[in-house]
Structure 1
Amino acid sequence: MSWGAQRRLRSIYHFRDHPHEVQQQVLRELLHTARATEWGRRYGFADALRGQEFAERVPVSAYEELVPDLERVMRGEADVLWPGQVQWFAKSSGTTNARSKYIPVTREALHECHYRAGRDMVALSTFHYPEAQLLGGKTLSLGGTHTPNPLRPDDALSRAGDVSAVIMQNLPAWAEHIRTPPLELALLDEWEEKIERIARHVQHQDVRALAGVPTWMIVLLRRVTELAGANTITEVWPNLRLFLHGAVAFGPYRELFRQLIPNPQMHYLEVYNASEGYIALQDEPDSEDLLLLLNHGIYYEFLPADQWDASEPQAVPLEAVELGKSYALVISTNAGLWRYKIGDTVRFTSLKPYRIRISGRTKHFLNAFGEEVVIENAEAAIAAACRATATTVRDFTAAPIYFAGASDGSRGGHQWLIEFTQPPHDTAHFAAVLDHTLRQLNSDYDAKRHRDMALAPPTLTVAAPGLFERWLARRGKLGGQHKVPRLSNSRDLLDDILSTV
């Protein structure tokens, strides 16, 4: 299996060295495959469009604009966006809108995107850490669950759920052989029961790698340690060497994992696997940048910041992106999403090869006073404050505080609601480091904070233990890929969490 995985390295090197040619080939294949679909006929996919022609004919679309056609696909209509009938759908909140999104997951998307990227991650892991012999043991993966398609509830073959559950349910034999726990436990829908049963099942296995969201992996590792009567997870799994993490930034959790897994041979690699496709992965252990995956059935375009809210947004192709700027992702995929605004924003850190960092979401940022704080800023500042106060954060969110009509004039501020694993001895120092780091990272925030004239110092509210978990449970989003939005430009979300008993 290790030998087979290493063969993927040649493909990775190829798209790294020939990015533009590979992307044009991906576009040609997508358009050729979908030429006879309703969208293919509507926009003339059979005309062998090149990138500029494709951009001129097909509009950029948000999820809300695709809902009518996506609902037809969910009801079983074939050949609408992609050839054939789609049976699987990834369910995601993904925006500040409480309504769930349903993203089609075709057979091509599973095999040519998600599983191909999975093989890439195995190839890179075994290449970088051959001494760990990762494939000699089990990879423990945490995911969500799936339920009947809500628009086709009587069709036993059509299902919807977290993308992690869709992937696990359809795993090829080679991948199922090395993972744990078994599907009957991995896909349980009751999260508390799932953690308990998985912990009891895996504590006696030879776990060598972990894969999942840091937030929920922490809960599982603690329970396994308790059941084993151990001080750390290293005593339970002495061969554990790798954690493949995603969904949230790892910085605020890094110190906590070092405490849970105090093994200097433990390694961490990040993956960027969204409901819409497997976008990028960390290909170099010494860099936190993510390699953009260019031959995995996704054609990329990028919206500059001044186009995010434009009525007719103008995207740029891969060859036109610039270093350091934040772009909103626009993707066309082998699941039938055409020039789709995924909602995530990325910043390029390298153009040879193309590497990115996730900078936030187009709808998740703080800009109530012109400060333009994005998620990347927030998570870096939280991580710095954790290091300075020797603490760790379980979860957090932030929202504006408005002072309209107050005695201190027009100053506003930010309220940070933070759940600590162990609150710092000096919360004022934590808030000060948070503020100082944000000022260093973000010139707009720094300008508003100058002499406290336009923006007051941040207000820190310590959340009661389990508050965010109870809020997610109340919304029916406990576990899986669900996570608390980090930033919001209104107080609705934060106030709703604070109202949770």
Structure 2
Amino acid sequence: MSIKSFLAKPFAKFAVWQEKKWANNPHKTQQKVFEYLVSEGCKTTFGKDHDFVSINSYEDFKKCVPVNDYEGLRPYVDKMVEGEENVLWKGKPIYFAKTSGTTSGAKYIPITKESMPTHIKSARNALLSYIAETGDASFVNGKMIFLQGSPVLDDKNGIKLGRLSGIVAHYVPQYLLKNRLPSWETNCIEDWDTKVDKIVEETLPENMTVISGIPSWVQMYFEKLIEKTGKSVSELFPNFNFFIYGGVNFEPYKNKFEALIGKKIDYIELYPASEGFIAYQDTQTEKGMLLQLDNGIFYEFIPATEFFDENPTRISLKDVQLGVNYVIILNTTAGLWGYNIGDTIEFTSLKPYRIKVTGRIKHFISAFGEHVIGKEVEKALNDIIVGTSINVSEFTVAPQVNPENGLPYHEWFIEFENEPENLEEMAIKIDASMQSQNIYYKDLIEGKVLRPLIIRKVKKGGFHEYMKSIGKFGGQNKIPQLSDNRKIADVLQNFLV
């Protein structure tokens, strides 16, 4: 056992002990965060505009601070981008995380000296929780790869600007720098195909123990490894025993991953966002991710079914319930107030508070009043493929409102690695699962408003070609797994078998 892995175990136990202190006192922890945020917010332009000095309770806060999206806060962000101080948070941000918005164009999410450490601490603690639970710290002796965006940062009026993953690359702890791959030069390559080819070259001779990234892009890396060597990932990297991911539901990819890897491994799910590190999987034995209550974020929740109402219910952590689909709202030490990041979550546990991401509030299908959400399509697909040899590389769903013949329907675009023997039979089973989950969808099928769904087979590599065609190939770009319009579906017609 190396000194590094030997020391990792007591460090992991200490980190988990600290974690349990706040996890076991959730409401006290959140109240402390709330009071700190309001106290500091009083000194800002936003706080003065929204009468923070009068806030003495959460009820007061809701009266003073509306729920915002990026457009709602944009006038304040624009001032910060221009170099103004004390706008949303004290001083100036140390970074802007640049993300692409569908309606806002480029978005500049502030990261402050108070919020940046929470991103690093949470990522670290996810690994330490794994060590504490399994007793296995051997991976710290091997090489670790994080498929991420370029660490090259631009400058915006004296503030560094880049992708969150590129910013985080500057904070790899000193004791892990020798373990880190790819090299800095490779990480800076913008073209994703070239970058992955170079990563394959760099990692093949190494003792890879940790691999992390968005599943669809890591899958591409695995496929290139196998194409080059003719060996499975576990043959190439026998000490690779767990995969870290975030950003999408992993279940539809699991069969494919285990086939590429060649053995079953452990998985750690993270929920990092440019706006804050929200949760991570702290155990291999329970469902969901531990909500980070001591991370400088005060959380609010709105039932997704009420979100577009004029006066939706808006609650804090103490009033949440299991099994309810909530829109998650953030208030942070980066100065985001009442901020809707667009994600929906569901609580899997209340002691401690664990969550799972169920989709995007804007990613749904309700062309006919069915309000199908991401969690439902993911479950329907997974119900069918689990325990079979069917492997799905990627998929997305859209409504077909005006078919040339017959009733409208939901159109499922699926790229298979191993496809089913009978595609129509698979469609029938998925449709049955959808009907069992969503009574509105069932009523529309039974009422002959909709016909059962249809599967369109996307050619192998088709989704990658689609992403290239729209200029969003690689990095942190993800394909929405459902949408209420035909914007994606109409282009995908060019990539069908």
TM-score interval for Structure 1 and Structure 2 normalised by the shorter chain: over 0.9
CA distance in structure 1 between the partners assigned to 2:206 and 2:181 by the alignment: 9
CA distance in structure 1 between the partners assigned to 2:386 and 2:199 by the alignment: 32
C-alpha deviation, 1:215, in angstroms:
0.5
Residues 64 and 311 of structure 1, relative CA distance in 2, 3 Å threshold? farther
Residues 440 and 187 of structure 1, relative CA distance in 2, 3 Å threshold? farther
1:160-216, Cα deviation, whole Å (9 max, x unpaired)? 22x211211333424545432223222321111110111111112221111111101
The answer on whether the counterparts of 1:467 and 1:500 sit within 8 Å (CA) in structure 2 is yes
Report whether the alignment pairs 1:8 with 2:15.
Answer: yes
The answer on whether the counterparts of 2:328 and 2:345 sit within 8 Å (CA) in structure 1 is yes
Match of 2:63 among 49, 56, 59: 56
Report whether the alignment pairs 1:106 with 2:106.
Answer: no
SS of the residue 1:301 aligns to: strand
SS of the residue 1:195 aligns to: helix
The corresponding residue for 2:459 is 464
CA distance in structure 1 between the partners assigned to 2:357 and 2:333 by the alignment: 22
Report whether the alignment pairs 1:483 with 2:482.
Answer: no
C-alpha deviation, 1:150, in angstroms:
8.0
CA distance in structure 1 between the partners assigned to 2:494 and 2:263 by the alignment: 40
Structure 1: 4+ residue segments shifted above 6 A: none
Report whether the alignment pairs 1:22 with 2:24.
Answer: no
Match of 1:446 among 433, 442, 448: 442
The answer on whether the counterparts of 1:144 and 1:480 sit within 8 Å (CA) in structure 2 is yes
Report whether the alignment pairs 1:437 with 2:443.
Answer: no
CA distance in structure 1 between the partners assigned to 2:320 and 2:380 by the alignment: 27
The answer on whether the counterparts of 2:130 and 2:283 sit within 8 Å (CA) in structure 1 is no
The answer on whether the counterparts of 1:114 and 1:278 sit within 8 Å (CA) in structure 2 is yes
The corresponding residue for 1:139 is 144
CA distance in structure 1 between the partners assigned to 2:261 and 2:74 by the alignment: 44
Once the two structures are superposed, the pairs formed by residues 234-313 of structure 1 within 5 Å of their partners are 234-264=234-264, 266-311=265-310, 313=312
The corresponding residue for 2:41 is 34
Once the two structures are superposed, the pairs formed by residues 326-345 of structure 1 within 5 Å of their partners are 326-345=325-344
C-alpha deviation, 1:34, in angstroms:
3.2
CA distance in structure 2 between the partners assigned to 1:187 and 1:392 by the alignment: 32
1:373-422, Cα deviation, whole Å (9 max, x unpaired)? 11111111122233375221111111111248x775xx431011111123
CA distance in structure 2 between the partners assigned to 1:267 and 1:188 by the alignment: 30
CA distance in structure 2 between the partners assigned to 1:36 and 1:283 by the alignment: 36
Unaligned runs of 5+ residues in structure 2 are: 1-6
Residues 175 and 54 of structure 1, relative CA distance in 2, 3 Å threshold? farther
CA distance in structure 2 between the partners assigned to 1:98 and 1:73 by the alignment: 17
Match of 1:85 among 92, 104, 108: 92
CA distance in structure 2 between the partners assigned to 1:159 and 1:376 by the alignment: 33
Report whether the alignment pairs 1:417 with 2:413.
Answer: yes
1:202-243, Cα deviation, whole Å (9 max, x unpaired)? 11222111111110111112222333x242111111111111
Once the two structures are superposed, the pairs formed by residues 28-427 of structure 1 within 5 Å of their partners are 28-46=35-53, 49-93=56-100, 96-97=102-103, 99-111=105-117, 113-131=118-136, 133-145=138-150, 149=154, 152=157, 155=158, 158-161=160-163, 163-227=164-228, 229-264=229-264, 266-311=265-310, 313-387=312-386, 390-403=389-402, 408=406, 411-427=407-423
CA distance in structure 2 between the partners assigned to 1:427 and 1:218 by the alignment: 24
C-alpha deviation, 1:496, in angstroms:
3.0
C-alpha deviation, 1:11, in angstroms:
2.1
The answer on whether the counterparts of 2:410 and 2:454 sit within 8 Å (CA) in structure 1 is yes
> Match for 1:100: what amino acid?
A
CA distance in structure 2 between the partners assigned to 1:51 and 1:272 by the alignment: 25
Residues 380 and 150 of structure 1, relative CA distance in 2, 3 Å threshold? farther
The answer on whether the counterparts of 1:8 and 1:123 sit within 8 Å (CA) in structure 2 is yes
> Match for 1:160: what amino acid?
G
CA distance in structure 1 between the partners assigned to 2:176 and 2:326 by the alignment: 34
SS of the residue 1:65 aligns to: helix
CA distance in structure 1 between the partners assigned to 2:12 and 2:416 by the alignment: 39
CA distance in structure 2 between the partners assigned to 1:68 and 1:138 by the alignment: 44
The answer on whether the counterparts of 2:22 and 2:29 sit within 8 Å (CA) in structure 1 is yes
The answer on whether the counterparts of 2:210 and 2:241 sit within 8 Å (CA) in structure 1 is yes
Residues 70 and 176 of structure 1, relative CA distance in 2, 3 Å threshold? farther
CA distance in structure 2 between the partners assigned to 1:481 and 1:115 by the alignment: 18
SS of the residue 1:424 aligns to: coil
C-alpha deviation, 1:50, in angstroms:
2.7
> Match for 1:429: what amino acid?
E
> Match for 1:203: what amino acid?
L
SS of the residue 1:368 aligns to: coil
1:136-157, Cα deviation, whole Å (9 max, x unpaired)? 22221111125655864xx5x5
The answer on whether the counterparts of 1:272 and 1:279 sit within 8 Å (CA) in structure 2 is yes
> Match for 2:425: what amino acid?
H
C-alpha deviation, 1:312, in angstroms:
5.2
SS of the residue 1:483 aligns to: coil
CA distance in structure 2 between the partners assigned to 1:107 and 1:476 by the alignment: 32
Residues 379 and 150 of structure 1, relative CA distance in 2, 3 Å threshold? farther
The answer on whether the counterparts of 2:46 and 2:76 sit within 8 Å (CA) in structure 1 is no
CA distance in structure 1 between the partners assigned to 2:220 and 2:494 by the alignment: 24
> Match for 1:39: what amino acid?
F
The answer on whether the counterparts of 1:24 and 1:50 sit within 8 Å (CA) in structure 2 is no
The corresponding residue for 2:3 is none
CA distance in structure 2 between the partners assigned to 1:240 and 1:138 by the alignment: 9
C-alpha deviation, 1:313, in angstroms:
4.5
SS of the residue 2:346 aligns to: strand
Unaligned runs of 5+ residues in structure 1 are: none
1:13-39, Cα deviation, whole Å (9 max, x unpaired)? 122211100001111222233332211
C-alpha deviation, 1:84, in angstroms:
1.7
The alignment's TM-score, normalised by the length of structure 2, stands at 0.92
The answer on whether the counterparts of 1:290 and 1:357 sit within 8 Å (CA) in structure 2 is yes
C-alpha deviation, 1:455, in angstroms:
1.9
Residues 138 and 44 of structure 1, relative CA distance in 2, 3 Å threshold? farther
